[in-house]
């Protein structure tokens, strides 16, 4: 398995923590966010990494070097301008037919090995790890017959069950044929393009621990979770893993 880690964002939502250092180097407990992720991936048998970097690239490269300190091999793909979450992959050379992609600010106990096996099993061009989230609407919601503007139902502060992308993807290299050259292209663009061309996008539900460290309150929760656990999240290998189902 080879993993591409997207670490080129500016982390603007995480200010003030990201004013002087890039988000992947912001500490959670005693380690940088990206350091925890690399160690988690290594525990799943992944030792080959490509880091896509842009903002504060020199600091990230100086911190991780060639990865020898962590017993892995790290290469870098440097963006000369922001390209979003998917377009940077177009610049990466020597990708295998299938590979993992993850955002650089993810904390999770997902079994990346089982996720990769699931992706290969279904021969998908794109597999997305998803987490169930409940979204509460803090209003009374009226369902209507749009034709005559007549109320047909009512819900008081309903909760919606949503599949939220975890920022972890399995990709087949042929998906890059849909990505434009040297132009911003995000995950949302990719999904809409694939769905529009009737290609199958597989979902991999994960019920264990997941936290996307995007905002200050997420960052504070991450530090609290690390303090309670005493360590970074460990692999989740529960019997309900979709990789074990046909």
* CATH code where residue 86 lies: 3.90.550.10
Q: Domain for residue 158, yes or no?
A: no
pLDDT, tens digit (0-9, with 9 covering 90-100), for 49-77: 999 998 888 999 999 999 999 999 999 99
Q: Domain for residue 228, yes or no?
A: yes
User: How far is residue 67 CA from its own chain's centroid?
Assistant: 21
Inter-residue contact 47 to 93 (CB < 8 Å): no
> Strand runs (DSSP E) across the chain, as ranges?
2-7, 27-28, 31-32, 48-53, 73-78, 98-103, 106-108, 126-136, 140-145, 150-156, 159-172, 201-205, 210-212
**Residue closest to 96 by CA, chosen among 194, 7, 3:** 3
Give the C-alpha separation, 155 to 137, whole Å: 10
Q: Cβ neighbours of residue 242 under 8 Å, at least 6 residues apart?
A: 118, 204, 205
Tell me the pLDDT of the chain averaged across its residues.
84
- If you count them, how many residues does the chain have? 246
Q: How many structural domains are present in the chain?
A: 1
Helix axes 33-43, 57-64, angle to 10 degrees: 50
Q: Domain for residue 21, yes or no?
A: yes
pLDDT, tens digit (0-9, with 9 covering 90-100), for 11-54: 565 566 566 777 888 888 888 889 999 999 999 999 999 999 98
Q: Domain for residue 143, yes or no?
A: no
Share of the chain above pLDDT 70, in %: 87
Number of C-beta neighbours around residue 9 at 10 A: 23
Q: Domain for residue 144, yes or no?
A: no
- Domain assignment of residue 93, given as a range: 2-131+163-244
Confidence at residue 93, expressed as pLDDT on a 0 to 100 scale:
85
Higher pLDDT, 29 or 116: 116
Q: Domain for residue 141, yes or no?
A: no
Q: Give me the residues paired with residue 86 across strands.
A: none
Give the C-alpha separation, 109 to 36, whole Å: 11
pLDDT for 80 beyond 90:
no
């Amino acid at each position: 398995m080879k993993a591409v880690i997207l670490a080129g964002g500016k982390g603007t939502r995480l200010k003030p923590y990201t004013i002087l250092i890039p988000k992947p180097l912001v500490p959670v407990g005693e380690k940088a966010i990206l350091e925890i992720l690399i160690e988690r991936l290594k525990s799943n048998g992944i030792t080959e990494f490509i880091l896509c970097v842009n903002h504060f690239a020199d600091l990230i490269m100086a911190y991780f070097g060639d990865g020898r300190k962590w017993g892995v091999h790290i290469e870098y793909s440097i963006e000369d301008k922001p390209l979003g979450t998917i377009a940077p992959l177009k610049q990466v050379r020597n990708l295998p037919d299938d590979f993992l992609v993850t955002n650089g600010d993810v904390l999770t106990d997902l079994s990346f090995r089982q996720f990769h096996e699931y992706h290969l099993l279904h021969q998908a061009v794109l597999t997305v790890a998803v987490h169930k989230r409940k979204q509460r609407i803090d209003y009374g919601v009226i369902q209507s017959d749009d034709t005559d503007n007549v109320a047909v139902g009512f819900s008081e502060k309903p909760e919606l069950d949503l599949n939220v992308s975890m920022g972890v993807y399995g990709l087949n290299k042929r998906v890059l044929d849909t990505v434009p050259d040297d132009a911003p292209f995000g995950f949302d663009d990719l999904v809409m393009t694939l769905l529009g061309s009737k290609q199958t996008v597989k979902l991999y539900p994960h019920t264990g621990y997941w936290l996307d460290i995007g905002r200050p309150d997420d960052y504070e929760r991450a530090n609290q979770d690390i303090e309670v656990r005493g360590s970074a999240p460990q692999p989740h290998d529960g019997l309900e893993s979709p990789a074990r189902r046909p």
